[in-house]
Every structure is written in structure tokens, then in C-alpha cells.
């Protein structure tokens, strides 16, 4: 999502510059048939891209926080005898068979 947000913002920003070179993105040209000016389309692309970029950042932050949650919250515990990773539902260690 971050990638597509960045692409949309880039297309939106470049859609302001390309007309100086007598060029325009095909997608912007096609959308101009809806009656919107290329300036409006550029702002829509930048706004949509910024929104997608923001959503992607929020998603990455949530994944990062979930990855750093304590083991118990993720359903795991460490064996006090050997340090092996076990499920909290296990009664004995899967590695050394000691009681968890
Ligand atoms: Zn163990």
C-alpha cells in the first residue's frame, strides 16, 4: 500500500510538470474525459496517494507492534529448564519434557 501511495503521489506531482514538455500521463489524459482538469486530477492523485501511504504506514506499525507483543499474548511461553519455545496450552516442554 505504501508503494501504490508513493506511485500515485508521484504521478500526481509529475502531471503538473509533464505538460511543460507537451506530455501527459495516459491515465490523466483518460480521466480528463470525465470533465476534470488535469490539475484537479493531479490533486486527486496526490491526495489519494497520501491517504494510501498513510494507511500503509499504519498497517506496518500495527504489524510491528504485534510482532513485539509479549510471548504470552501471542500464545507462547519459554521453558524455564531448556528455554525452548512452547505453546501456552502445552503442559510439558516439547524439547525436554519438563513441566511448564
Ligand atoms: Zn524444556
Residue pLDDT, tens place only, 37-56? 989 999 999 999 999 999 99
Residue pLDDT, tens place only, 41-96? 999 999 999 999 999 999 999 888 888 888 888 899 999 999 999 999 999 999 99
Instruction: Please state the pTM of the whole predicted model.
Output: 0.66
Say how many Å lie between the CA of residue 93 and the centre of ligand 1.
Answer: 5
CA distance 80 to 67: 22
Check residue 73 and give its pLDDT. 85
Say how many Å lie between the CA of residue 90 and the centre of ligand 1.
Answer: 11
Say how many Å lie between the CA of residue 75 and the centre of ligand 1.
Answer: 16
Is 90 exceeded by the pLDDT of residue 99?
A: yes
Q: Which residues contact 44 (CB under 8 A, 6 or more apart)?
A: 12, 36
Say how many Å lie between the CA of residue 89 and the centre of ligand 1.
Answer: 14
pLDDT bin (cut points 50, 70, 90) of residue 34 is very high
Is 90 exceeded by the pLDDT of residue 7?
A: yes
Asked if residues 93 and 84 have their Cβ atoms less than 8 Å apart, the reply is: yes
Say how many Å lie between the CA of residue 67 and the centre of ligand 1.
Answer: 23
Amino acid at each position: 500500500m505504501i508503494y501504490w501511495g508513493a506511485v500515485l503521489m508521484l504521478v500526481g506531482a509529475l502531471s503538473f510538470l509533464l505538460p511543460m514538455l507537451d506530455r501527459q500521463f495516459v491515465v490523466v489524459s483518460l480521466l480528463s474525459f470525465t470533465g476534470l482538469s488535469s490539475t484537479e486530477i493531479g490533486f486527486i492523485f496526490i491526495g489519494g496517494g497520501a491517504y494510501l501511504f498513510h494507511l500503509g504506514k499504519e498497517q506496518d506499525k500495527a504489524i510491528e507492534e504485534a510482532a513485539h507483543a509479549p510471548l504470552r499474548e501471542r500464545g507462547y511461553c519459554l521453558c524455564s529448564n531448556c528455554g525452548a519455545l512452547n505453546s501456552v496450552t502445552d503442559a510439558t516442554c516439547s524439547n525436554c519434557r519438563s513441566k511448564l
